[in-house]
Amino acid sequence: DQQVKQNSPSLSVQEGRISILNCDYTNSMFDYFLWYKKYPAEGPTFLISISSIKDKNEDGRFTVFLNKSAKHLSLHIVPSQPGDSAVYFCAAIFPGGSQGNLIFGKGTKLSVKP
Amino acid sequence: KAGVTQTPRYLIKTRGQQVTLSCSPISGHRSVSWYQQTPGQGLQFLFEYFSETQRNKGNFPGRFSGRQFSNSRSEMNVSTLELGDSALYLCASSFRDRSDTQYFGPGTRLTVL
């Protein structure tokens, strides 16, 4: 049973516009969430994280929003650039867990068109 | 600082064989985790080692095992390979605590024929 779900396998966005990647989770015990980006033939790279005590975290062009009541988080990329084209994974951690034990979604492939 | 390295990068085996994959973490990192990536299941956690002890284990059969050495290098072993074990196996390392960023290696692509 998938505890972290990314229901959109792919997303296409025009350069300069906003990209919104969504993630839903089923287990309300998760208390820490992360987004990773993955290019082909490379390992995932950490992008941004958010603790469950917050509802927003921002880092440059990347912002993650957390809606605990809806068990939903989203990653906003503004403005989107062609170099952002990659697969984006949402991940979660249980209380007491470490980043060495991540529950991942299946990923969303983002394509940013020039 | 050198990143996480994994060897070999590509591997082809036949059903029933066993395989050992190696991971060298970033210098100073004590936590090493392994993940399996397949198109159908995405990234799934296999196990995590910290200071030579298995700290967490995912939901994989006992054919999948691992260990960590005193220099934090880790190996993962899969015995009696099945076709479904074909995947990208990713290793990741972090310093120690849950707030420490985890860094992934490029992975080992295992193909089982």
Q: What is the pLDDT of residues A40-85, one digit of tens each?
A: 888 999 999 999 999 999 999 999 999 999 999 999 999 999 999 9
How far apart are the C-alpha atoms of B109 and B6, rounded to whole Å? 10
Q: Looking at residue A2, what is its pLDDT?
A: 80
Cβ partners under 8 Å of residue B27, min gap 6: B1, B2
Q: Looking at residue B2, what is its pLDDT?
A: 78
Confidence of residue A99 (pLDDT cuts 50, 70, 90): low
| pLDDT, greater one: B67 or B101 | B67
- Residue B48 to residue A101, Cβ atoms within 8 A: yes
Cβ partners under 8 Å of residue A113, min gap 6: A12, A13, A14, A15, A82
Q: Closest Cα to residue B38, out of B90, B78, B113?
A: B90
Q: Please check the confidence at residue A110 and state whether its pLDDT lies above 80.
A: yes
Cα dihedral A31, A103, B31, A45 sign: negative
Tokens matching residue A67? 């809606």
Smallest CA–CA distance, residue A101 to chain B, in Å, is 6
Contacts of A89 in chain B (CB under 8 A): 42-43
For a pLDDT cut of 90, what percent of chain A falls above it? 82
Q: Does A109 touch chain B (CB under 8 A)?
A: no
Q: Does B48 touch chain A (CB under 8 A)?
A: yes
| pLDDT, greater one: A89 or A99 | A89
Instruction: Give the pLDDT mean for A10-26.
Output: 97
How far apart are the C-alpha atoms of A87 and A11, rounded to whole Å? 10
How far apart are the C-alpha atoms of A114 and A14, rounded to whole Å? 6
Q: Looking at residue B1, what is its pLDDT?
A: 63
Amino acid at B82: E
Confidence of residue B95 (pLDDT cuts 50, 70, 90): confident
Chain centre distance of CA B28: 18
Q: Looking at residue A88, what is its pLDDT?
A: 97
Q: Does A43 touch chain B (CB under 8 A)?
A: yes
> A66: how many CB neighbours lie within 10 A of its CB?
20
Chain A interface disruption, residue of B37, B52, B91, B96, most A CBs within 10 A: B37
- Residue A102 to residue B107, Cβ atoms within 8 A: no
